[in-house]
A and B are shown apart, each in its own frame.
Chain A
Amino acid sequence: DIQMTQSPSSLSASVGDRVTITCRASQSITTYLNWFQQKPGRAPNLLIYAASSLQGGVPSRFSGSGSGTDFTLTISSLQPEDFATYYCQQSYSTPLTFGGGTKVEI
């Protein structure tokens, strides 16, 4: 199974900050990498697919980059509604696996 490691596991930030979350795969997954946002009590929401493609309806302050084993999710200017937990997920091979999550707190 491909292991996905996110860092940090949590971070504190302020509105307007630039936030970067990293995700590392245990082997190359080329660009088979997706990012999700999850708020408490809600289902996850797809932000980025194929490492860097913005899902329709997602604000442009979210961006993704990387290929191979190292990936980043960047929020260019954190907004109040962005406080949530973020997960990366590889779709290169089954079982599909998620990172452990990064909780973004005020």
Chain B
Amino acid sequence: QVQMVQSGAEVKKPGASVKVSCKASGYTFTNFHINWVRQAPGQGLEWMGWISGYNGHTNCAQKLQGRVTMTTDRSTHTAYMELRSLRSDDTAVYYCARDAGLALFGVVVPGVGYYGMDVWGQGTTVTVSS
């Protein structure tokens, strides 16, 4: 079955970096985009960005630009999200989630996100504390 399995919890100090992995299985990795979504304790959901499993093209939230890097390793069907210069308000559960739209040569019609995010990882807790 389709699965997204994320790396384990992390505790980091302010100013450090964290890299979360998301290993996909059960589908053709290059046919779908992967989103990253985070949720601060007791708060709602915040979209961070997406990456194409086909060509690695990204679209990241402007508020995180300069601090976030999303990459993929097509050989291991794994997506990565690295967040730098961590602050206390980056403390959250980080999720990867597959975009449900089939991407042909990296293009989803009528657009990435239209069909929702259909398979989610279990979440990775990142705690930023001195």
Contact = CB atoms under 8 A, between A and B. Distances in A.
Interface string B13-45: 000000000000000000000010100000011
Contacts of B123: 43
A38 B45 CA distance: 10
B120 A43 contact: yes
A60 interface: no
Interface string A60-100: 00000000000000000000000000010101001111111
Contact of B61 (A43, A44, A95): A95
A52 interface: no
B122 interface: yes
A32 B45 contact: no
Interface string B75-104: 000000000000000000001010010000
- In order of increasing CB-CB distance, the 5 nearest A-B pairs are A91-B113, A49-B116, A43-B120, A96-B47, A34-B116
